[in-house]
Amino acid sequence: MKKEKLQKYLTIAFFIGAFILLVFLIQTYGIEPLRSAVKEMGIWAPLGILILRGISVILPALPSSVYSLLAGSLLGFKTGYLTIFISDLIFCQIAFFIARNFGRSPVRKLVGIKAMKRIESFNQNQLEGNFFLMTGLLMTGLFDFLSYALGIGGTRWRLFTPALIISLLISDSIIVAVGAGVSQGAGLMLGGALLGMFALATITGFNKNKVSETQKKSQ
């Protein structure tokens, strides 16, 4: 229990530290030199972020939100949003496909025992019967775990895909907008993104309560 709490605190500290470092670098050196370097890289910069974000989806222990912030700050909102959305759409589908077609064994090897327990807990809740709950949970930072869980649970692809698309259109835009808002000094964009994050936190809390209720009923 203490180990799990420590890992949770370290993860939160990592995200906060990365965000502070990003803001510091932007304020100290300016975003333009970095953006100029990224532009010179052409398609390779978005492609690199897309692949790194994808790896963090397939291996959920790795942090993923950092890449959304980087995409927003270095690529701008439009390109950054498109990059992260495409990455999440492709790699969540890959995670779903692996779980749906090959079962628990390869998933356990990819994510580890601890992450597998979390995936199994979602799998026990039979989310397929509630499209809106599934979509709401996919909007949270647990979308990678859920992609595996829904695949293992036998959720139909034609039900999973629209729920995934709707959730990514909303959730990805918020984190990318935070990165873009900080780098461009866009107070309105940043304020809107932070409000969106608050809304997502509310949705997460609501969905957790729903999942808890479902678990109690099933016991």
Which whole-number Å values give the CA distances from 201 to 4, 10, 136, 150, 174, in the listed order?
21, 20, 11, 22, 12
Looking at residue 65, what DSSP letter applies? H
Asked if residue 52 lies in contact with residue 67, where contact means CB atoms within 8 angstroms, the answer is yes
**What mean pLDDT is predicted for residues 110-125?**
75
Segment 152-210, tens digit of pLDDT: 888 889 889 999 998 898 888 888 887 776 555 444 444 444 444 445 545 555 555 55
Sequence-ordered list of residues with C-beta below 8 angstroms from that of 45, at least 6 positions apart, any chain: 38, 74, 75
What is the C-alpha to C-alpha distance for residues 189 and 6, in angstroms, rounded to an integer? 33
pLDDT over 90 for what percent of the chain? 13
| 19 confidence band (pLDDT: 50, 70, 90) | low
pLDDT given at position 23 = 60
Segment 41-85, tens digit of pLDDT: 778 888 988 998 998 888 876 667 778 888 887 888 889 999 999
pLDDT given at position 114 = 77
pLDDT given at position 138 = 85
Place of tokens 């709707």: 166
pLDDT over 70 for what percent of the chain? 61
pLDDT given at position 155 = 87
Segment 143-166, tens digit of pLDDT: 888 899 888 888 889 889 999 998
Asked if residue 90 lies in contact with residue 56, where contact means CB atoms within 8 angstroms, the answer is no
